[in-house]
Amino acid sequence: MQVGKSTLANSLLATDPLAALGQVGKSDSAKSTQPSAAELAAQKAEAAKVRQQSDLEQIRDKGIYAWAQEQKLEKLKEKIRAEVMAERDGTTDVAAVEGEVARRVKEAMEEALKAEATVAAKRNEPARPMIIDISV
């Protein structure tokens, strides 16, 4: 028997015996379609990078002040939308919800403007541009 010509010998004497035999203890059914933790982290990092790039482009287009005001308004809308949805107990009438959100946002803006005007009047100053602080 010649050792060099045997297929068993070739598979055992291969440069990578695990590659010839396959991974010991693992079967093809063990392969999962779910991404690994490293892949998830990479996807999350890429999404954050894209979101940051988008924010920077918007800031360049609109200016920092206008962008910040827009972000504050969007957060206010989200907060009010969550309150309205909680009050409606699962009612998904989109038009009614959005109408209520718009009404409440308008009220909040008017209240903020009146409060700012009142403070400015007490100081004998003209009212400044409206800034809504919706720190959550």
Q: Indicate the length of the chain as a whole number.
A: 136
- In the predicted model, is pLDDT for residue 114 greater than 70? yes
Q: Where are the domains of the chain?
A: 36-122
136 confidence band (pLDDT: 50, 70, 90): very low
DSSP string, 90-102: T---HHHHHHHHH
Highest mean predicted confidence (pLDDT) among 2-6, 20-24, 37-41: 37-41
**pTM greater than 0.75 (yes/no):** no
Position 1 scores a pLDDT of 47
Position 130 scores a pLDDT of 56
- Distance (Å, rounded) from C-alpha 10 to C-alpha 13? 5
Torsion angle (degrees, nearest 10) of CA 10, 12, 15, 18: 130
H helix and E strand count, the chain: 5, 0
Question: What is the average per-residue pLDDT within 23-34?
Answer: 57
pLDDT in tens, 57-100: 998 998 888 888 889 889 989 998 888 888 877 667 888 888 88
- Distance (Å, rounded) from C-alpha 67 to C-alpha 77? 15
DSSP character for 30? G
Position 7 scores a pLDDT of 53
Position 46 scores a pLDDT of 93
Biggest alpha carbon–alpha carbon distance for the chain = 109
CB contact set of 117 (below 8 Å; sequence gap of 6+): 127
